[in-house]
A and B are shown apart, each in its own frame.
Chain A
């Protein structure tokens, strides 16, 4: 028989859990609002500055603003501002899932060599006009970058199938791949013309100014397909952080899940990097911020990582326009400059550490 004390105890437990869930929902809403605000500020800034009121008016009633304002906001700035959010979300989701399946806080598209692979693919096209897929000349650089990024991911995938390969080995292989691609990039730059070297260097800095509506739609579509596929595996992915043995005891097949997720997030990261170039640290810092705010439950961590990554890159986009008025600094430089101190803070501050 259940006593009154038992009922009180059960409802107390549920109240605690409800409060936890509510707190996380509030944080997610807060992140979403901050992202919307940041996108509006990003839209307002540029060679011609608009007030937030003008931006909102152009967004809600486009027909009521001047043609020039509408064109600047919708055709020029909107793809860039939204691309920042979509790429930030994609890289952060890729990072959080790489960290989860490899159980390693340093895993990200950047540290596993996927970004470096994309950079090498782009450099081949920029320096020598080499096309790995010669049927879409207009998109030769992003397609080269995408194919090399996926090849890198497949190399990691292939190695992970080998007997006795641990998640630590995979991270070490990623680091080795980064060095290999960096050496190959140097080789390309050694033989390439001065103009081509400049183009390669600019590409590897990462820049949102390459964003267009078609590229945005492609990136968004991949994000909207990948995110639900990962969300469906929410409970299993959360359990992966308890270690393989515990996950197996809960009926999960870690190797299979690891491979499925690796394919999904490689696609997500490859698409993003191929369109905007190398943008480091989002895939590393975004997930850690989300984990600190929301914990490990993937039902909250996944959207949290997406929102925090999107917010960081959107703020980075604003900063890239503000540091030197009239000049847009490549976003990759900004994210690294902001990301590295934050990363050091995470490593050195035990209270903030979420690993």
Chain B
């Protein structure tokens, strides 16, 4: 099974350090990891550094990968509106680096992903005509169609309505279990992190504050320290931990 380990990772923009000393234990495939942190903490920068778009110190160690490009990265929506149908834009992601002719298995893969994300009905629509949430589902499809083993997703639920947030996170959770994927998802909703993730990484001011099993990492103390929020985490009637926010700390 694939695994990922970050060792003393750092990065800087124009000489200003934006990430420093980020080391994690070995993150095994088959789990959903929530990347948490306040705005501008460095979550997107960390993803870009892991994916290789930013140079810097340290090492990204991937072991057990069985494909040439095991990592896929879903950035936040850029708002671009080119004249492309949903089907074409997913196919486009899959065809990068390949020859111009589309093979039948590429079509089959696009259809499988459309079906997996329940967006088959959108395939003929122009992506410029979609809502923010629909575009986010298409972005998810564009990375899933690459069949990665490690998936980095930058706030994939930020534009989705509540039911679609739950659907997408449940699907990602299922993929980790069924296909042994390691999925790291940047989230702002701590409740979702508690509910769906197996592990959590918390980042603040470019440094990793905590990394481990979600119930051990996401605690009232951490929420007070990192988010300046007074909150409790209590089991619901089904025994699942749930977040109750009392207000700003202090």
Question: Could you list which residues of chain A lie within 8 angstroms of chain B, going by C-beta atoms?
Answer: 6, 9-10, 13-14, 16-17, 20, 103, 163, 231, 234-236, 238-239, 241-246, 248-252, 291-292, 295-297, 299, 354-355
| Interface residue ranges of B71-109 to A (CB < 8 Å) | 72-76, 78-85, 87-89, 91-93, 95-98, 100, 102, 104, 107-108
Query: Can you list 8 residue pairs at the A/B interface with Cβ under 8 Å?
Result: A14-B107, A17-B87, A235-B92, A241-B80, A243-B80, A250-B93, A295-B83, A295-B85
Residue pair B92, A245 in contact (C-beta under 8 Å): no
**With A103-B80, A231-B100, A251-B69 as given contacts, are A16 and B120 in contact (CB-CB < 8 Å)?**
no
B144 interfacial by beta-carbon distance below 8 Å = no
Task: Give the residues in chain B near A291, CB-CB below 8 Å.
Answer: 83
**With A17-B107, A243-B78 as given contacts, are A296 and B84 in contact (CB-CB < 8 Å)?**
yes
Q: Which of A13, A14, A163 contacts B120 (CB 8 A)?
A: A13
A-B pair number, CB within 8 angstroms: 97
Q: How far is the CA of A246 from the CA of B51 in the complex (A)?
A: 13
A-side interface mostly? helix
Identify which of A14, A245, A252, A355 gathers the most chain B CB atoms within 10 Å of its CB.
A245
**With A10-B111, A296-B82 as given contacts, are A239 and B88 in contact (CB-CB < 8 Å)?**
no
Residue pair B73, A249 in contact (C-beta under 8 Å): yes
Residue pair A16, B123 in contact (C-beta under 8 Å): yes
Q: How far is the CA of A163 from the CA of B97 in the complex (A)?
A: 27
In the complex, the chain B residue whose C-beta lies closest to that of A231 is B100
Q: Which of B89, B100, B108 contacts A234 (CB 8 A)?
A: B100
B189 interfacial by beta-carbon distance below 8 Å = no
Q: How far is the CA of A6 from the CA of B115 in the complex (A)?
A: 9
Q: How far is the CA of A244 from the CA of B107 in the complex (A)?
A: 25
In the complex, the chain A residue whose C-beta lies closest to that of B97 is A251
Q: Which of B53, B85, B100, B111 contacts A235 (CB 8 A)?
A: B100
**With A235-B98, A239-B96, A249-B143 as given contacts, are A13 and B114 in contact (CB-CB < 8 Å)?**
yes
Q: How far is the CA of A241 from the CA of B79 in the complex (A)?
A: 11
Q: How far is the CA of A239 from the CA of B112 in the complex (A)?
A: 21
Residue pair B14, A163 in contact (C-beta under 8 Å): yes
Interface size, chain B (Cβ < 8 Å): 43
| Interface residue ranges of B107-157 to A (CB < 8 Å) | 107-108, 110-112, 114-115, 120, 123-124, 139, 142-143
B130 to A: closest C-beta gap in Å:
13
Task: Give the residues in chain B near A163, CB-CB below 8 Å.
Answer: 14
In the complex, the chain B residue whose C-beta lies closest to that of A301 is B83
**With A16-B123, A249-B75, A299-B100 as given contacts, are A242 and B80 in contact (CB-CB < 8 Å)?**
yes
5 closest A-B pairs by CB: A243-B78, A241-B82, A245-B75, A243-B80, A10-B111
Residue pair A13, B75 in contact (C-beta under 8 Å): no
Q: How far is the CA of A6 from the CA of B114 in the complex (A)?
A: 12
**With A9-B120, A291-B83 as given contacts, are A249 and B51 in contact (CB-CB < 8 Å)?**
yes
Identify which of A163, A235, A241 gathers the most chain B CB atoms within 10 Å of its CB.
A235
Q: How far is the CA of A248 from the CA of B80 in the complex (A)?
A: 14
Q: How far is the CA of A60 from the CA of B246 in the complex (A)?
A: 87
In the complex, the chain A residue whose C-beta lies closest to that of B81 is A355
Q: How far is the CA of A326 from the CA of B173 in the complex (A)?
A: 76
Q: How far is the CA of A252 from the CA of B102 in the complex (A)?
A: 19
**With A242-B78, A249-B73 as given contacts, are A16 and B84 in contact (CB-CB < 8 Å)?**
no
New A-B contacts (8) at CB < 8 Å, excluding given A235-B92, A242-B80: A242-B92, A245-B76, A248-B53, A249-B72, A249-B75, A251-B96, A291-B83, A295-B83
Residue pair A236, B96 in contact (C-beta under 8 Å): yes
Residue pair A246, B75 in contact (C-beta under 8 Å): yes
Q: How far is the CA of A354 from the CA of B81 in the complex (A)?
A: 9
**With A249-B51, A251-B69 as given contacts, are A10 and B88 in contact (CB-CB < 8 Å)?**
no
| Interface residue ranges of B139-187 to A (CB < 8 Å) | 139, 142-143
Residue pair A249, B92 in contact (C-beta under 8 Å): no
Identify which of B83, B100, B108 gathers the most chain A CB atoms within 10 Å of its CB.
B83
Task: Give the residues in chain A near B123, CB-CB below 8 Å.
Answer: 13, 16
In the complex, the chain A residue whose C-beta lies closest to that of B78 is A243
Q: How far is the CA of A350 from the CA of B49 in the complex (A)?
A: 40
Q: How far is the CA of A238 from the CA of B82 in the complex (A)?
A: 9
